[in-house]
A and B are shown apart, each in its own frame.
Chain A
Amino acid sequence: MSIARGVRSTRSARTVRIASGQGFWGDDLDAPVRQVRGGRIDYLMLDYLAEVTMSIMRKQQLRDPAAGYARDFVPLMERIIGDCVERDIRVVTNAGGVNPSECARAVAEAGRRAGAGGRARIGVVTGDDIVDRLDDLIAAGHPLEHMESGEPLESVRHLVRSANVYLGARPIVEALRRGARIVVTGRSTDTALTYAPMAWEFGWSWDAYDLLASGVVAGHINECGAQASGGNCSADWWEIPDLARVGFPIIEAGPDGSFVVTKHPGSGGVVTLRTVKEQLLYEMGDPESYITPDVTADFTTIRLARQGPDRIRVHGIRGGPPTPFLKVSVACSAGYKAVGTLVYAWPDAAAKARAAARILRERLDRLGLAFDRVLVELVGWDATHGHLAGEPPPDLPEVQLRVGVRGQDRAAVERFTREIAPLVLTGPPSVTGFAGGRPRVQEMVAYWPALIERTVVEPHLAVDVFEV
């Protein structure tokens, strides 16, 4: 597939409003509806993917070839597609997961049910999924070494569950150019969902690195939903109003790359320098070198200014060229784990919980069960800050004992799950909280980040646009 080098939009808007509607798969289901109906927006971006999400979706697809995407997206589009057509709003999402084509097909069906047949086009981006090409790629000299350990993927090849390349904005722009109202991708970067509409609307060229870097910063602010507008904000959290109706962030972008972060009038939450700064630093690595498929952004050049209530202006951003590589997210099966809990009450709650953990470990030893790791935490005391919490006082009202094990032998982990409940009658007293039944054994998936030369990926990218 060839993707247009220079982009040009038929629209010549001076300000484009790109609303965030979803920060992860499992976020507030009604947030996108509030974004569409609560005021004027031009684009709705919906981020559904996290590092582990792709492997979960792959597992679903192996059971059912028509699955493997964020299913919530389909009923959502059935609710809002009419509004999107009437208000001329475009939707850009990575809800496609490991199966964007099936996702788009289901959305088209939902759109027809909602009466949008013949009134909207859907664009689908494919080519990020390289799981079926892995053997060929390795044979052709692409070792897909782990970015931290340097180990080649060959060593865990038989354990690979999914492998997807992070794609940038170009295929999304191509779908928009071909008139798509809804663009469904697989593993696009979270930020591309926001800056692709900016690049398209303003006709930015692919070597306008400062502009693209501004788009990346806008995308980073949008990609976690309400985390930029008052949610999970540690600065004076008790003063943040009306989080029950929190307004998700909206980027008001201009052609020069500068933009304002805001939210719909009358919605809950706040947009302040503090909420925006906290989100800018979220999941940050080296701030001078925020690498994406299209540009390397420098977060140390960001300038922020308060422009009014719930309005933060962002400008001054510099960027440089991207690297010759794209990042690959590989998920590998990594054994089994289980976590069991019991609750101990006053007095000496923590001492009782620790005694129970010692008894449990001795029993596991006597059974000859070996694990790669056993972790004991006292929820209510040290589960979040470890030894920084100091020693628990004897008058602690209650504590939850939480014991986790992991290993390669499923039977051993299974047996562990049967050793929790017996502690109720055979261990320290004033214990409860076991009504949930035995813990569940979970298959673990390890994340294997790698790099691949973009030249072996880009020729495989495809954009398909069709009518609902």
Chain B
Amino acid sequence: MPRIPLLELAHARSGDKGDTANIGLIAYDPMDYPLILEQVTADRVKHHFGSLVRGAVERFELDNLYAVNFLLHGALDGGGTVSLMTDAQGKVFSTALLRMEIEVPEEVATRVAGRGRQPARRKESAS
């Protein structure tokens, strides 16, 4: 089965609570939500982030929004004003998660190919 980045299946927003980052991961299309539930487990996410997350990863499901919420504990170098990180508030953990690759059926890969990125601008006809 083809592997695709989550970027093509879902959008995301992240933020902070102290030293914990949260990431809300939302399926673009409700029909892809079961794939996310099955493959984007707390264990897989913990493994994806590796040394970027010192503590545990928790997952909460929001079937009503076709979304999952992750808590990444110990991800922000102490958080708040203590953290030395550029991303002390965990604002871009969202797209870091969207880098993660999952296996999907061929037809899904074809349907979502190129999602999540700004389409290339058409070249001007002159020149």
Q: Which residues of A contact B (CB under 8 A)?
A: 51-52, 148, 227, 232-235, 237-238, 274, 277-288, 299-304, 334, 337, 339, 373, 375, 377, 379, 383-388, 402, 404-406, 442, 444-447, 449
For the complex, count residues of B whose C-beta is within 8 A of A.
44
Query: Do A288 and B86 form a contact, CB below 8 Å, given A234-B11, A385-B92?
Result: no
Partner of A375, one of B11, B84, B99: B84
Residues on B with beta carbons closer than 8 Å to the beta carbon of A232 = 13
A409 → chain B, closest Cβ, in Å?
A: 16
Query: Do A384 and B82 form a contact, CB below 8 Å, given A283-B16, A301-B64?
Result: no
Residues on A with beta carbons closer than 8 Å to the beta carbon of B60 = 284, 286-288
B41 within 8 A of A: no
> In the complex, are the beta carbons of B13 and A379 less than 8 A apart?
no
A-B contact pairs, 12 of them (CB 8 A): A238-B119, A277-B24, A278-B11, A278-B12, A280-B24, A281-B65, A285-B17, A300-B61, A379-B86, A385-B95, A388-B96, A444-B81
B67 within 8 A of A: yes
Partner of B11, one of A148, A274, A444, A447: A274
> In the complex, are the beta carbons of A281 and B86 less than 8 A apart?
no
B98 → chain A, closest Cβ, in Å?
A: 8
- A51–B76 Cα distance when bound, in Å, is 15
- A332–B30 Cα distance when bound, in Å, is 45
A11 → chain B, closest Cβ, in Å?
A: 32
> In the complex, are the beta carbons of A299 and B71 less than 8 A apart?
no
Residues on A with beta carbons closer than 8 Å to the beta carbon of B85 = 375, 377, 383, 404
> In the complex, are the beta carbons of B13 and A385 less than 8 A apart?
no
B31 → chain A, closest Cβ, in Å?
A: 15
Residues on B with beta carbons closer than 8 Å to the beta carbon of A449 = 18
Top 10 A-B pairs, shortest CB-CB distance = A281-B24, A404-B84, A235-B11, A375-B84, A278-B13, A283-B15, A383-B86, A238-B118, A234-B11, A385-B96
- A429–B80 Cα distance when bound, in Å, is 35
> In the complex, are the beta carbons of B92 and A302 less than 8 A apart?
no
- A373–B88 Cα distance when bound, in Å, is 14
Other A-B contacts than A287-B62, A375-B84, A406-B82, 5 sampled, CB-CB below 8 A, are A285-B69, A300-B63, A339-B84, A373-B77, A387-B52
Query: Do A278 and B86 form a contact, CB below 8 Å, given A234-B95, A447-B79, A449-B18?
Result: no
- A283–B93 Cα distance when bound, in Å, is 12
- A404–B85 Cα distance when bound, in Å, is 8
Residues on A with beta carbons closer than 8 Å to the beta carbon of B77 = 373, 375
Query: Do A446 and B82 form a contact, CB below 8 Å, given A234-B11, A277-B26, A277-B67?
Result: yes
Query: Do A383 and B87 form a contact, CB below 8 Å, given A388-B96, A446-B80?
Result: yes
Residues on A with beta carbons closer than 8 Å to the beta carbon of B86 = 377, 379, 383-384, 402
> In the complex, are the beta carbons of B24 and A285 less than 8 A apart?
no
- B46-71 CB contact bits vs A (8 Å, 1 = yes)? 00111110000000111111010101
> In the complex, are the beta carbons of A302 and B64 less than 8 A apart?
yes
Query: Do A388 and B81 form a contact, CB below 8 Å, given A277-B67, A279-B13, A300-B62?
Result: no
